[in-house]
Amino acid sequence: MLFCVGLYGVLRKRNIIKMIVGLGIMEYAMNLFFVLLGYRFHGRAPIDAKYQDILNMVDPLPQALVLTSIVIGLAVTALIISIAIRIYEKYGTFDITKIKKLKG
Amino acid sequence: MELYILLIFMICAAIVAIEVKDLLSSVIAVGAVGFALCLAFLILKAPDLAITQLVVEILCLIILIRATINKDLPLVIEGRWIFNTFSTLGFIAVFLLFSWLALKELPGFGEPIMAVVKKYLQEGVSKTGSVNIVTAVILDFRAYDTLGEATVLFTAVIGIMAILRRPGRKK
Amino acid sequence: MRQIEAFEGTHEIASGASRPRNDIYMIDNPKTGMTLIVKTITRLTVGLIMLFGIYIILHGHLSPGGGFAGGVIVALSFVHLMLAFGKDVAAARISKNMASNLESIGAMMFLFVALLGFLGGSFFLNVLNKGNPFNLFSAGTILLSNISIGIKVGVGLFAIFLALVILEKSSKKEL
| Per-residue 3-state assignment (H helix, E strand, C coil) for chain C | CHHHHHHHHHHHHHCCCCCCCCCCCCCCCCCCCCCHHHHHHHHHHHHHHHHHHHHHHHCCCCCCCCHHHHHHHHHHHHHHHHHHHCHHHHHHHCCHHHHHHHHHHHHHHHHHHHHHHHHCCCCCCCCCCCCCCCCCCCCCCHHHHHHHHHHHHHHHHHHHHHHHHHHHHHHHHHC
pLDDT of residue A94: 55
Q: Do B65 and C6 touch (CB under 8 A)?
A: no
**Which of A71-75, C25-29, C58-62, C104-108 is the most confident on average?**
A71-75
The mean predicted confidence, pLDDT, of chain C is: 67
Which one of B139, B161, B166 would you mutate to disrupt binding with C, by most C Cβ within 10 Å of its Cβ? Answer: B139
Domain ranges of chain A: 2-91
Return the pLDDT at C24. Answer: 39
Could you tell me the residue range of the domain that residue B148 belongs to?
113-171
Q: Which residue has the higher pLDDT, C35 or A66?
A: A66
Average pLDDT over residues B24-32: 84
Domain total of chain B? 2
Report, as an integer, the average pLDDT of B36-65. 87
- Report the topology of domain A2-91: Helix Hairpins (1.10.287)
Residue C110 neighbours by CB under 8 Å, 6+ apart? B147, B150, C145, C148, C149, C152
Confidence of residue B57 (pLDDT cuts 50, 70, 90): very high
- Candidates C160, C166, C175, partner chain A, best to mutate (most A CBs within 10 A): C160
pLDDT of res. C165: 74
Chain-centroid distance of CA C128 in Å reads 29
Instruction: Say how many residues make up chain A.
Output: 104
Task: Find out whether A26 and B18 touch, Cβ atoms under 8 Å.
Answer: no
- How many helices (DSSP H) and strands (DSSP E) are in chain B? 7, 0
Q: Quick one: average pLDDT of B31-51? A: 85
More confident residue, B129 or C18: B129
The verdict on residue B13 lying in a domain is: yes
The pLDDT value recorded for residue C127 is 46
Residue B137 falls inside a structural domain = yes
Q: Which residue has the higher pLDDT, C43 or B69?
A: C43
Q: What is the mean pLDDT of residues C133-146?
A: 61
**CB distance B130 to A50 below 8 Å:** no
For the cut 50, the answer to whether the pLDDT of residue B52 exceeds it is yes
Please judge whether C170 and B55 are an interchain contact, meaning their C-beta atoms are less than 8 angstroms apart: no
What was the pLDDT predicted at C167?
A: 62
- Sorting pLDDT into bands at 50, 70 and 90, what band is B26? confident
Q: ipTM, 2 decimals?
A: 0.78
Enumerate the domain spans of chain C: 1-31, 35-174
User: Taking CA atoms, what residue in C is nearest to B49?
Assistant: C65
Within 10 A of B100 (CB to CB), how many other CB atoms are there? 9
Average of per-residue pLDDT across C107-118: 66
Measure CB to CB from residue C69 to each of B52, B147, B165 and give the nearest one: B52
* First-last CA distance in chain A: 41
Percentage with pLDDT > 90 across chain C: 0
What mean pLDDT do residues C47-61 have?
84
* Average pLDDT rounded to a whole number, residues C31-45: 76
Which residues in chain B are contacts of C67 at CB distance < 8 A? 139
C11/C163 Cα distance (integer angstroms): 21
Whether residue B64 is found in the same domain as residue B4:
yes
pLDDT for residue B68 is more than 60: yes
Low-confidence ranges of chain A (pLDDT < 50): 9, 11, 14, 103
What's the pTM? 0.76
| CB < 8 Å to A71, chain B | 52, 56, 149, 153
How deeply is C90 buried, as exposed, middle or buried, from its count of CB atoms within 10 A (0-12, 13-18, 19+)?
A: buried
Position B166 scores a pLDDT of 64
Residue that wins the pLDDT comparison between C67 and C102? C67
